[in-house]
Amino acid sequence: MAESIRLQKTVFMCAPSGFISIALDSNDDFSQLIRAILSEPDQLQHLLDIGLDPNATNDNGDTALMLAVRAGNLQMVKALLRHGAEVNAQNQQLETALRLGASQGRLDLVQTLIKHGADVNKADGKGTTPLIAAVKGRYKEMVRLLVSSGAVIDHSDQYGLTAVSHAVSQNDVQLLEMLLDAGGNPNATDRYRCNALIRAADAGRDAIVQSLLLHGADVHAPTKYGDTALIFASQFCQASTVQLLIQCGAKVDHVNDRGETALLCAADRAKADVIEVLVNAGSNPNHQKWDGNTALMCAARRGCDVVREIVKSGAILDLTNHSGNTALIIGATWGSFDTVVCLVEAGAQIEVRNNEGETAVMSAARCNRNRAVVYLLRSGAKVDLIHNDTTLNTVLMYVCRFCLLDTIIFLLHSRTPDDLLINHVNRSGHSALTYACVSDMFEAVRLLLAAGACVNVRTNTDDTPLTLAAKHASLGVVRSLVEAGALVNASNKEGFTCLHNAVRRDKPEIVEYLLSKGAHVTSEIHLATWLGNRKLVQILVQNGAAPSIQSIHNLLVRCDLQSSSSLRNSLNAMSVDNMPCYWGEQSPLCLALQQGLADVARFFIHNWFLSWFDVVSLPFLLEIHGYLEEKNLKDCIHILDTLSSQPWRLKTLSFVATSARVGYGPDRAENIRRTHLPDSFQRRLQFRDSSAYVLEEDWKFLDVCF
Least confident of 102-106, 353-357, 441-445, 548-552: 548-552
pLDDT of residue 549: 79
Q: What is the pLDDT of residue 13?
A: 36
Q: Of all helices (H) and strands (E), which one includes residue 22? A: strand 18-22
Task: Single out the residue of 376, 308, 295, 301 nearest to residue 334, CA to CA.
Answer: 301
Quickly count: other Cβ atoms within 10 Å of residue 335's Cβ: 26
- When pLDDT is averaged across residues 333-352 and rounded to a whole number, the result is 96
E strand or H helix at 585: strand 585-586
pLDDT in tens, 622-641: 777 777 888 888 888 888 88
Instruction: State residue 360 phi and psi, 5-degree precision.
Output: -65, -45
Q: For the chain, how many structural domains are there in total?
A: 2
Q: Is 491 helix (H, G, I), strand (E, B) or coil?
A: strand
Q: Identify whether 115 is part of a domain.
A: no
| Residue 133 pLDDT exceeds 80 | yes
| Range with lowest mean pLDDT among 287-296, 324-333, 445-454, 559-568 | 559-568
The reply to whether 416 falls in a domain is no
Q: Could you tell me the CATH number of the domain that includes residue 191?
A: 1.25.40.20
Report the pLDDT averaged over residues 311-338: 96
pLDDT band at 522 (very low <50, low <70, confident <90, very high): confident
Nearest to 699 by CA among 588, 598, 615: 598
Residue 61 has pLDDT above 60, yes or no: yes
Least-confidence region, from 24-28, 602-606, 702-706: 702-706
Residue 453 confidence class, pLDDT cut points 50, 70, 90: very high
pLDDT score at 531? 84
In a domain, 629, yes or no: yes
Residue 194: is its pLDDT beyond 60? Answer: yes
pLDDT at 678: 73
- Examine the fold and report which residue of 243, 264, 284 is the final residue of a domain before the chain moves on: 284
Quick one: DSSP state of residue 116?
T
d(CA 275, CA 291): 21
User: Which has the closest alpha carbon to 281: 233, 328, 222?
Assistant: 233
What is the per-residue pLDDT for 44?
62
Distance CA 108, CA 114 (A): 10
Under the banding of pLDDT at 50, 70 and 90, the label for residue 32 is low
Residues 6+ apart with CB under 8 A from 661: 675
In degrees and rounded to multiples of 5, residue 424 shows phi and psi of -65, 140
pLDDT in tens, 579-591: 444 456 788 888 8
Answer with the residue of higher pLDDT: 136 or 32: 136
The better pLDDT of the pair 296, 191 is held by 296
Q: What pLDDT sits at residue 43? A: 59
* 190 secondary structure, DSSP code: -
Q: Report the pLDDT value the prediction gives residue 75, as an integer from 0 to 100.
A: 85
pLDDT of residue 35: 59
CA dist 526 and 528 (Å) reads 6
Q: Calculate the dihedral angle through the C-alpha atoms of 116, 120, 124, 129, rounding to the nearest 10 degrees.
A: 150
In the chain, how many H helices and how many E strands?
44, 4
Rounded Cα gap, residues 275 and 295, in angstroms? 9
Position 572 scores a pLDDT of 40
Amino acid occupying residue 62? D
What's the pLDDT at 593?
Answer: 86
- What mean pLDDT do residues 37-52 have? 59
Residue 385 lies in a domain: no
Average pLDDT over the chain, rounded to an integer:
84
The answer to whether residues 357 and 386 touch, using CB atoms and an 8 Å cutoff, is yes
Cβ-contact 343, 299 below 8 angstroms: no
The answer to whether residue 305 scores a pLDDT higher than 60 is: yes
Under the banding of pLDDT at 50, 70 and 90, the label for residue 288 is very high
Three-state DSSP class for residue 38: helix
- Out of 45-59, 322-336, 355-369, pick the least confident: 45-59
Query: DSSP of 512-555, one letter per residue?
Result: HHHHHTTPPPSTHHHHHHHHT-HHHHHHHHHTT-----EEHHHH
Q: What is the pLDDT of residue 98?
A: 95
In a domain, 215, yes or no: yes
- The span from the CA of 350 to the CA of 362, in Å, is 11
Domain endpoint, select from 267, 284, 301: 284
Percent of the chain with pLDDT over 70: 83
In this prediction, residues 114-137 reach a mean pLDDT of: 94
Dihedrals phi, psi of 20, to nearest 5 degrees: -115, -10
Report the half-sphere exposure of 558 (CA within 13 A, side-chain side).
20
Q: Residue 203 — pLDDT band, cuts 50, 70, 90?
A: confident
- Burial per residue of 62-88, b for 16 or more beta-carbon CB atoms within 10 angstroms, e otherwise: bbbbbbbbbbbbeebbbbbbebebebe
From 264, 284, 304, the end of a domain falls on: 284
Domain residue limits at 237 = 186-284
Q: Mean pLDDT throughout 281-292?
A: 96
Which of the residue ranges 203-217, 343-357, 620-634 has the most confident prediction, judged by mean pLDDT?
Answer: 343-357
| HEC assignment per residue over 427-452 | CCCCCHHHHHHHCCCHHHHHHHHHCC
Taking CA 299 as the corner, what is the angle to CA 296 and CA 302, rounded to the nearest 5 degrees? Answer: 160
pLDDT band of residue 696 (cuts 50, 70, 90) is very low
Q: What are the phi and psi torsion angles at 63 (to 5°)?
A: -95, 170
Query: 15: pLDDT confidence band, cut at 50, 70 and 90?
Result: very low
Q: 12-15 and 585-586: which strand pairing? A: unpaired
Q: pLDDT value at position 47?
A: 60
Residues 381 and 375: their CA atoms lie apart, in Å, by: 9
Lowest mean pLDDT among 291-305, 593-607, 628-642, 659-673: 659-673
What is the pLDDT at residue 533?
87
Residue 56 has pLDDT above 80, yes or no: no
For residue 189, the cross-strand partners are 195
What are all long-range contacts of 63-67, with beta carbons under 8 Å and residues at least 24 apart?
A: 63/89, 63/91, 63/97, 64/30, 64/33, 64/34, 64/37, 65/89, 65/97, 66/91, 66/95, 66/96, 66/97, 66/100, 67/12, 67/14, 67/19, 67/34, 67/37
Percent of the chain with pLDDT over 90: 56
pLDDT of residue 243: 92
pLDDT on residue 5: 31
Mean pLDDT is highest, among 86-90, 534-538, 693-697, for 86-90
pLDDT band at 10; cut points 50, 70, 90 = very low
- Could you tell me which residue, 496 or 7, shows the higher pLDDT? 496
pLDDT of residue 472: 96
What amino acid occupies position 443? Answer: E
Neighbours of 673 (CB within 10 A): 12
> Per-residue confidence at 702, pLDDT binned at 50, 70, 90?
very low
Q: pLDDT tens-digit profile of 524-568?
A: 888 888 888 888 998 888 887 888 877 665 555 555 444 444 444
